[in-house]
């Protein structure tokens, strides 16, 4: 027989609204947006900037730039140290967001992350020999940390390449891309700034993740 406390806990879970969080990453930080609802009636319930580079580690915001002049063994140690700290900070930020939303009776199960082209990178020595690859590697570094952290926190992660974001949304929501762009822009007007490309793309990634989970399609 269920105890009263169990019944109350079950009712709270049942009453919780399903939310998703979205990210657009930069060097050392990311824009986080949490949403509920649908494309027709999206509701932004949280937005913030999260810091995912440890200020106590010199060069942590641009770890590959910092590693460029180092000997390869030292560079590997530096990248490993930055990886460990950035994963920790990412996990802490996502865990805090999930708990904060749960306190407001939102249950976060899904995460959308805006990705780059996704081309595989070469070994570290080849990366450090190319300034273009250094920039690419740093973008991947912070996006990968968010993916790892979200999965560690038990979220279902949907990654969408930035250049395909609106095409993916158009196919998933069965709406023209320009209509989707208008709806996302109107969402920002209702809540005020900041509402830059960071928040817009993170919101759309979150809505894609939320709808993917709802319809049970997978990434």
Q: What is the pLDDT of residue 97?
A: 98
The region, left, alpha or beta by phi > 0 then psi within -120 to 50, assigned to residue 7 is alpha
CA distances from 92 to 67, 72, 73 (A): 25, 30, 29
Q: What is the pLDDT of residue 3?
A: 53
Per the domain annotation, does 109 fall within a domain?
yes
Per the domain annotation, does 185 fall within a domain?
yes
Statement: residue 114 has pLDDT above 90: yes
Per the domain annotation, does 48 fall within a domain?
yes
Q: Do 176 and 170 form a contact (C-beta atoms < 8 A)?
A: yes
What does the pLDDT look like over 142-155, one tens digit per residue?
999 999 999 999 99
> For residue 215, what pLDDT band results from cuts at 50, 70 and 90?
very low
Average pLDDT over the chain, rounded to whole? 91
Per the domain annotation, does 2 fall within a domain?
no
Q: What is the pLDDT of residue 219?
A: 41
Per the domain annotation, does 123 fall within a domain?
yes
> For residue 212, what pLDDT band results from cuts at 50, 70 and 90?
confident
The pair of structure tokens assigned to 79 is 């990248």
Q: What is the CATH number of the domain that holds 181?
A: 3.30.420.10
Per the domain annotation, does 190 fall within a domain?
yes
Q: What is the pLDDT of residue 1?
A: 47
Tell me the β-bridge partners of 115.
161
Number of domains in the chain: 1
Per the domain annotation, does 1 fall within a domain?
no
Spatial CA neighbour of 21 closest among 203, 145, 216, 211: 203
What does the pLDDT look like over 26-72, one tens digit per residue?
999 999 999 999 999 999 999 999 999 999 999 999 999 999 999 99
State which residues form the domain around 174. Answer: 17-215
Per the domain annotation, does 7 fall within a domain?
no
pTM: 0.89
């Amino acid at each position: 027989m269920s105890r009263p406390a169990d019944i109350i806990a079950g009712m709270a879970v049942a009453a919780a609204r399903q939310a998703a969080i979205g990210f657009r990453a930069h060097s050392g930080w990311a824009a986080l947006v949490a949403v509920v609802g649908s494309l027709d009636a999206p509701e932004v319930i949280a937005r913030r900037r999260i810091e995912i580079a440890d200020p106590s580690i010199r060069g942590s915001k641009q770890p590959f730039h910092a590693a460029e002049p180092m000997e390869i063994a030292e560079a590997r140690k530096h990248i490993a140290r930055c990886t460990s700290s950035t994963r920790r900070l990412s996990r802490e930020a996502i865990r805090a967001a999930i708990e904060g939303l749960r306190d407001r009776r939102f249950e976060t199960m899904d995460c959308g992350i805006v990705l780059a082209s996704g081309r595989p990178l070469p070994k570290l020595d080849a990366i450090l020999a190319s300034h273009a690859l250094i920039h690419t590697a740093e973008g991947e570094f912070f996006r990968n940390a968010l993916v790892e952290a979200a999965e560690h926190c038990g979220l279902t992660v949907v990654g969408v390449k930035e250049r395909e974001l609106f095409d993916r949304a158009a196919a998933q929501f069965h709406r023209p891309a320009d209509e989707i762009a208008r709806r996302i822009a109107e969402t920002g007007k209702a809540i005020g700034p900041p509402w830059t490309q960071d928040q817009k793309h993170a919101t759309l990634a979150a809505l894609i993740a939320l709808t993917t989970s709802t319809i049970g399609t997978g990434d």
